[in-house]
Structure 1
Amino acid sequence: MWRFLQDRRRLNGLLWQLLVVGIVIAGVGWLWSNALHNLSVRRISTGFAFLGREAGMPIADSWIAYSPKDAYARAFLAGIVNTLRVAVIGIVLATVLGTLIGIARLSSNWLLSRLAGVYVEVLRDVPLLLQLLFWYVLMQGLPAARTAWKPVDGVFLSNRGLVLPSVPIEGANLWVIGAATLGLIASYFLRRRLIAQQMADGRTRPLWPYALLLVVGLPALLSWTLAASWTVTFPELRGFNFVGGLTLAPEYFALLIALVTYTSAFIAEIVRSGIQAVHVGQWDAAKALGLRRSFMLRHIVLPQALRVIIPPMTSQYLNLTKNSSLAVAVGYQDIVSIANTTLNQTGQAIEAIALIMLVFLTISLGISLFMNWYNARIALVER
């Protein structure tokens, strides 16, 4: 009898789930059919065939080759690259700055900890859009290119943006950079193997000769073989603008600063709470061994705090990526800005919005998968 009741409950639950799914599918189908009908009445074409047409829109700041004669697909690709420029660099800088601020809040130095506290409270309580506009207006108020600030030789700061020395990256350079990246990955796995061998037999094995060969030696040999050029080009003022070097446009620079400072304030609190979550006995045991505070923090406390820090840190990375869509407020041409221009030119509203959603969904899922994988690797495993 009891088994019959259990089977009946499962059947009822399955029927209700199928009913809900069917209602949702029917609702989505009705909305889609209604949208197609309204578009047909207004003689607005549907589909993604417009991506092959000439865009005709200029993109002032693009890291890939682009001209207005290129197709909309190329313009969208340039917008995706511009979004990734902000998201990836912003995540790295916000993590470093937020970690330093979070550690500073726990400093025994009264002035340092109070300054860090003011930084966190002020930037967390001011809306991000307001901070973005503040930095953009500040960039516009800088001197013109002819009277640009020159804090360091070869570096210029003006209302045209930040101009830095650069190394032209070509095909041979990319191969060398790829070899160095693979060398870093190989060094990481080699380090894990050496540590495992040390735990087995107690013998220490130096990593630096292998790392030097993998990260420096082989890429240098490849660079010599391919005759890669690493000549640094310095910017020069010609007329009313700079020639050569790497120029960070004021729109990009303002957006990056606003995102980094705003997100770092939240990351600082996450780092501070993560460090405080480590039991005080860990600090006492390390002090009893006579270890320095910096060594304790780097090798004992932070590795344990990461298990508390990583989950909320993932949310901040996702927030920074999504907040980059505020670039439209200062005229930086990311994927949202380019999709809006495409929408106005072609009338393909549904397709343009769908592409924006797909891009941000893909980036967010990529960040989540990587952070979840890393969180699983550092999790404590009971045996």
Structure 2
Amino acid sequence: MPEVFISAGEASGDFLAGALVAEMKKINPNLNFAGLCGPSLRAAGTQTLYDINDLGVVGFWEVAKKIRFFRKVLTQVKTELQSRKPDLVLLVDYPGMNLKIARLAKSLGLKVGYFVSPQFWAWKEGRVETVKKCVDKMVVLFPFEVDFYKKHGLEAEFYGHPFLDLVKPEIPKAEFFRQNGLDSQLPLISFFPGSRKQQLERHLPLIFQTLSRLKADGLRFQSCWGLAPGLSKEHSAQMLPEEFKSEVKLVDQKRYSLMAASDFALSSVGTITLELALLQTPFLIFYKTSPLTYFLAKRWVKLPYVGLANLVAGKKIVPEFLQSEAAPEKLAESAYFYLKEPLLSARLKEKLATVRENLGSPGALPKIAASFCRLV
């Protein structure tokens, strides 16, 4: 039975990887998958060797503090690759770990596929040399990445973005409101603080202070916390301040219905900004990290914006609030601005429609699955 070792180190990669594995199994039902995975990969039938919830760290200093743990994981991965001798090592995003796994796999003479390119075009461009030496097939999500790799003498494949098919409300808005006990007469503010421990610690206080300011400004609304995959309602409920324990609804399923039903959203950086844009939900982007991480990022990252929605649009259509700018009064002012001015909210929705136009054509996932199946 052909075997694929797969590695996805965070929630967004796990979601795409799970969908990819399901498509690959349609093409070849005999494929067996095992690796570093989360709930989506497990749901697709992947054997878990390491849970990605243990791997989720963001920031230079934060990674440095767990370096021994990551070395231990890599040692176990090497042992697994040596004993299993998989027909394909399939890596999904998460370059800090996956580029090291690519080098390990290639040193063992294994075939390596990479899905969701690391953002070399944003920072540490020199890491593309590892792809040159160690990756047999690179499938990217954005058309401009094809040109980036071509500039470096590499051929990357682009079939369109899977989100064009995957990102859609699971149920109608009225049904979502009914299931979650929401009031159709009140605006809904949703928030997405991230999936990693450090993100939650920095972002949740900012969000609750923002909501408190909106209440103090006289805005009547209801709010939902869109839980990232892997976050339980029980654990998340313990992070709610007393003021919000009876007010904030925790949503761990039908997240796309939540996004689509929201009148406004507060979003951390990452894939979530692309999902919100595709659903044309008005939102703002915020992010806070350690001072050292932010200082180094400012020196190394070569991007005008941090939100994927803005990067894909090629201009700043969604407001961004980073580090010191990510203050409760500024987030509250922006949210209030859009919620009280329907015309401005409608204009933002029109701008968000351009994001979909820049992501290629629907039907990408079966083509991507077929491409990787050809390596097995």
Band the TM-score falls in, shorter-chain normalisation: under 0.3
Higher relative contact order (CA closer than 8 Å, sequence separation 6+) = 1
**Going by fraction, where is helix more abundant, 1 or 2?**
1
- Structure whose alpha-carbon radius of gyration is higher: 1
Higher share of residues assigned strand:
2
TM-score by length of 1: 0.21
